[in-house]
Amino acid sequence: MQRFEFVARFARNRGALVGACLILFVALMAVFASVFFPTDPLRIVGLPELWPGEDPEFPLGTDSLGRDILSMIVHGARATLLIGLFASAVATIIGVGVGATAGYFGGWVDEIAMRVAELFQTIPNLIFVLTIVVILGSTLTNIVIAIGIVSWTPIARMTRAEFLSLRDREFVQACRSMGMSDLRIIVSEILPNALPPVIVLSSLVVAGAILFESAVSFLGLGDPNVASWGRLVGDGRQLIRSSWYICAIPGIAIMITVLCLNLVGDGLNDALNPKLRDR
């Protein structure tokens, strides 16, 4: 019944609950984007620069070319969320791999792994991302990998700490005395126990990755075939004197999504460590 307790603790945190609901809403929006708006969001459908509410057909207005902003936001949700999720997945895979190896083997392996982590924390993150994207090309894959590369260090540290505290427990010693291989102990014995706090952290990494991606796209270095929210803000930038809403709306979408992810992450954290809750 531990699981129910966990859910109950999470649900008691109102902020986290609201955040989870909104995230679910954004995710559904992303999944069913082409059901609600089957046409290409980048197609011109009406008069340019219609303010939100001016024409009931376009509740959030149209941009400088006459494209439906609501449709672009809904389709952009898919791009933004996917990039965030995949980048976080890349960061989690690298981070868990490095952290688990470092924590399990200790000694010089640990020393080297932590120096490498320090190295990646030294290079200013966004500058690193921009450099990678510029040199390897602005494709979706490169952006996802670049964001993953600058975001894995906290996950590695967390995984390492968990492994350090678990590696000498009795059940691990029992496995070792049974002659289980290191790889098997790491993957099937320690990892499942170390995972919960790591997953919480990766949900926060998603929020960070979305902010990274939006900055990269805003600077015009995003994948030219993908209309993420950051790019919509960048596209609207030229028109802030006449139609600032074109810029404002996608930014609000980014802010709400990141805010909710943070709330959910905090909520999960509190539910995992009830002792820390009142901090």
Residues of this chain that bind another protein (CB under 8 A) = 115-116, 118-119, 121-128, 130-132, 134-137, 207, 211, 214-215, 218-221, 230, 233, 237, 240-241, 244, 247-248, 251, 254-256, 258-259, 262-263, 279
269 membership: H or E segment, kind and range: helix 245-272
CB nearer to another protein: pick between 174 and 240: 240
CB distance 175 to 255 below 8 Å: no
d(CA 82, CA 27): 10
Phi, psi (degrees; rounded to nearest 5) at 67? -95, 150
Q: How far is the CB of 42 from another protein (least distance, A)?
A: 21
Neighbours of 161 (CB within 10 A): 16
Q: How far is the CB of 166 from another protein (least distance, A)?
A: 21
CB nearer to another protein: pick between 14 and 43: 14
Q: How far is the CB of 124 from another protein (least distance, A)?
A: 4
CB nearer to another protein: pick between 10 and 218: 218
CB nearer to another protein: pick between 2 and 122: 122
Q: How far is the CB of 61 from another protein (least distance, A)?
A: 15
Q: How far is the CB of 76 from another protein (least distance, A)?
A: 14
Q: How far is the CB of 177 from another protein (least distance, A)?
A: 34
CB nearer to another protein: pick between 144 and 172: 144
Ordered alpha helix ranges (H), 140-244: 140-151, 153-166, 170-177, 182-184, 191-218, 229-236
Ordered alpha helix ranges (H), 32-169: 33-36, 69-105, 107-122, 125-136, 140-151, 153-166
Q: What token pair was written down for 30?
A: 């992303």
CB nearer to another protein: pick between 53 and 124: 124
Q: b/e for 62-87, b at 16 or more Cβ within 10 A?
A: bbeeebbbbbbbbbbbbbbbbbbbbb
Q: How far is the CB of 237 from another protein (least distance, A)?
A: 6
Q: How far is the CB of 252 from another protein (least distance, A)?
A: 8
CB nearer to another protein: pick between 190 and 216: 216
Beta bridge partners of 62: 68
d(CA 19, CA 135): 37
Q: Which residues contact 50 (CB under 8 A, 6 or more apart)?
A: 58, 61, 62, 66
CB nearer to another protein: pick between 78 and 231: 231
d(CA 31, CA 36): 10
